[in-house]
Homo-oligomer: A and B are copies of this chain.
Amino acid sequence: MANHFARRTNLIKASEIREILKVTERPEVISFAGGLPAPELFPVEEMKAVCEAVLNEDGRRALQYSTTEGYQPLRELVANRMKQAGIDATDNNILIVTGSQQGLDLTGKVFLDEDDVVICESPTYLAAINAFKTYLPKFVEIAMDDQGMIMAELEAALKKNRKAKFIYTVPDFQNPTGRTMSVDRRKKLIELANQYDLLILEDNPYGELRFAGDKVPPVKSFDTEGRVIYQSTFSKVLTPGVRVGWLCASPDILQKYVIFKQSADLHTNTLAQMQVTKFIELYDLEVHIERIRKVYKLRRDLMIEAIKTEFPHGVKYTQPAGGLFLWVELPVWMNAREVLVRCLDNNVAFVPGGAFFPNGGNENTLRLNFSNMSEERIVEGIGRIGRLIKSMIHDKNRQ
């Protein structure tokens, strides 16, 4: 049937990470590969109470079709959360989506013609690369340091790429590096977007999971021309299984998203939207997030401690102030895919970093997730990876 597929279909490949993640489902594998929240922190009992309350109070509505824009009380509640984060928003600025992954796909659909340029951090979120690739753009990667995207590099790229449509950024505890963009760079980013007439997609799933340092205002809080499309999700602060995320943008932009969302899935699960709303009404989401922060901080601290002890000299790593991930750079001659093969033999997994660079290269990098494994497994797993890296370095030196 290959001759029936669209060109985009013949160009796209299955994510190798997907295949890796399948292996890591075996319980004996210590996996730092996925981006899964800690399930032991899910509010299962509370969700039971929430489901019951929603179905008792408005069951027929919860099970019926609903509007594409989203459940009105949830839109209002999200608009309030946006205001608390320093973003001027009302319900008209909010579109509820089926996880923020849908926001990525819809952004590609709304904006990208073939060969348009997407500007992104280097490295950037793998599933965003894949979502945008559906629409056959080119990617221009902007080098990062510990303050995020380097603005001089961005400016040089904008001068060269007049077909750039938008800048994609994960400014808080970035996936995959864990880095956070500084306030000054956020302001500069807006300045450049205004100057070069570009949009910005600010993807912020992890922002509320800060466990060190001061909060940094969202890029969108500096936006004066309606150029920033902000998206976030309840996946990391409540539960990913229910697939409830949101976009916050100008109504004239959202109107286009609504048309494509209607074609994509009509609307997001009504019951799920009402569950999230009811959870926030009945419980204190901030208290819940604080619990998550404490656990993730402990795990990050342990992972960094273990890396310091177990990884050989010459391996670099980030020390994120929040989120779920940290980033490792091995000696340049090493290939993280080869390291992974050996690690899987030893029942420990991570994601090789090359996949996070849309234009390839950087095979000496890898991403480690610290949210999903117990403290004991973190120490054990990092120890195993460290020993394997050391033995590969040892082998190389003997050659």
Which residues on the B side are within 8 Å of A64 (C-beta)?
36-37, 39, 42, 239-241
Q: Is B263 a contact of A134 with CB atoms below 8 Å?
A: yes
**B18, B240, B255: the one within 8 Å of A262 (CB):** B18
Q: Is the contact region of chain A dominated by helix, strand, or loop, or is it mixed?
A: helix
Q: In the complex, given contacts A37-B64, A39-B64, what are 19 additional A-B residue pairs having Cβ atoms less than 8 angstroms apart?
A: A1-B252, A6-B135, A8-B113, A12-B260, A18-B68, A36-B65, A39-B63, A44-B55, A44-B63, A51-B55, A63-B240, A64-B240, A65-B235, A102-B264, A109-B134, A243-B267, A243-B268, A243-B269, A265-B265
Q: Is the CB of A259 within 8 A of B63?
A: no
User: Given the interface contacts A55-B44, A266-B99, does A5 sit within 8 Å of B111 by beta carbon?
Assistant: yes
Q: Which residue of B lies closest to A50 (CB)?
A: B51
Cβ-based interface call for A226 (8 A): yes
Inter-chain contact A9/B241, CB cutoff 8 Å: no
Question: With a CB–CB cut-off of 8 A, which chain B residues contact A5?
Answer: 110-111, 256
A378 at the interface (CB under 8 A from B): no
A272 to B, closest residue via Cβ: B269
A14 interfacial by beta-carbon distance below 8 Å: yes
Q: Does A165 contact B (CB under 8 A)?
A: yes
Residues of B with C-beta under 8 A to A240: 63-65
From A18, A59, A135, residue with most partner B Cβ within 10 Å: A59
Q: Residue of B at shortest CB range from A226? A: B1
Q: With the chains together, A206 CA to B246 CA distance in Å?
A: 31
Q: Are B1 and A199 in contact (CB under 8 A)?
A: yes
Other-chain contact of A263, B47, B65, B112, B131 (Cβ < 8 Å) = B131
